[in-house]
Amino acid sequence: MEYLDTDPVRLSPDGKAVVYIDQRLLPHKTEHISVYKAEDMYNAIKTLAVRGAPCIGIFAAYCVYVISLYTADPALDSELESFCAYLDSSRPTAVNLSYALFEMKKVLSESRGLPAEIRRERLRRRAQEIHQSDIDSCERIAGFGLSLLKAGDGVITHCNAGALATSRLGTGLGPLLLAARKGIELHPYVDETRPLLQGARLTAFELKQAGLEPTLICDNMAAYVMSQGLVDAVMIGADRIAANGDTANKIGSSQLAIAAKYYGVPFYVLAPTSTVDKSCKTGRDIKIELREGDEIKKMFFEAPTAPEGVKCLNPAFDITDHTLITKIITENGIFSPKEL
């Protein structure tokens, strides 16, 4: 399966369900799941079967359309409003979720008074537009990002911001995947990204699928790799970017930025403009999702790695201060954090 041209979420062939790749099972098993019920859609996001901020947004848009198919005409507005609020509560940090739901509610509002079938068709069309927009954005982001690299560069990644997290090329991983497509040799160093191992399970998988040879490292090895002169750039994605350029991304991103600053390694954030949240003045305004401690103690281990009953703090994201970010790359170009 060619992951450079994979849509991790899409409509089913008959258009009556949303199909997604269950990312919890990768890299050992590729399974496509079809959902058409609200609870299954919510759980897909909550349990990280569907993950990656842009991917979540695309999934949410298709979900609104599919739910409309199973909603009686007179209840279309009230039921979809309730569904949007329900789905929006599944994960609080990634802005693309609320952005996509806002866009779908806007279609609903602007089509009031029209026949129900026309309204459903407009919802379908808007969801497909959101999807296509992400595909186009990823291509442009990858191109801008690749312009900052040269053949032979070492690049550290964190979490997964490739095709599985977005559409096709991805954001933070886009330059590497585009380089592979163009036959440009780069040397990826992949943070495993504890505790959910998105780097080890997903990023390393995607890079190998693309024909690159990634080197997997534990998160706490990044500073060592930089100190040895093996790294020329850090490239990550983002789940939400505040107006001042502070960036929320997978936990561990901030310490990676601090190490990069110390060793003089450029730190790049790659994300579509839909990830920029002007209502958040700074990173302090971004709500950080706290997840279950068992993800630290038990997930991916045959036996618990900590004593029974030990307390855990498991934030899913941290905030990278804008002063640690060299450039932010969107589909519109390369900017300093203050230029957003």
Catalytic positions, written as ranges: 239
CA 77 – CA 68 distance, rounded (Å)? 9
In the chain, where do the E strands start and end? Answer: 9-11, 18-21, 32-35, 154-157, 187-191, 215-217, 233-236, 240-242, 247-250, 267-270, 276-277, 317-320, 327-330, 333-335
* Start-to-end Cα distance in the chain: 37
Q: Please answer whether residues 252 and 158 qualify as being in contact, where contact means their C-beta atoms are separated by less than 8 angstroms.
A: yes
Long-range contacts of 8-14, Cβ-Cβ distance < 8 Å, separation of 24 or more = 8/50, 8/52, 8/55, 8/163, 8/164, 8/165, 8/167, 9/50, 9/55, 9/58, 9/59, 9/62, 10/62, 10/131, 11/62, 11/65, 11/66, 11/124, 11/127
CA 131 – CA 7 distance, rounded (Å)? 9
Give residues with Cβ within 8 angstroms of 128, minimum separation 6. Answer: none
Q: Which two tokens stand for residue 67?
A: 């739910």
Q: Please answer whether residues 153 and 232 qualify as being in contact, where contact means their C-beta atoms are separated by less than 8 angstroms.
A: yes
Give the three-class secondary structure for 105.
helix
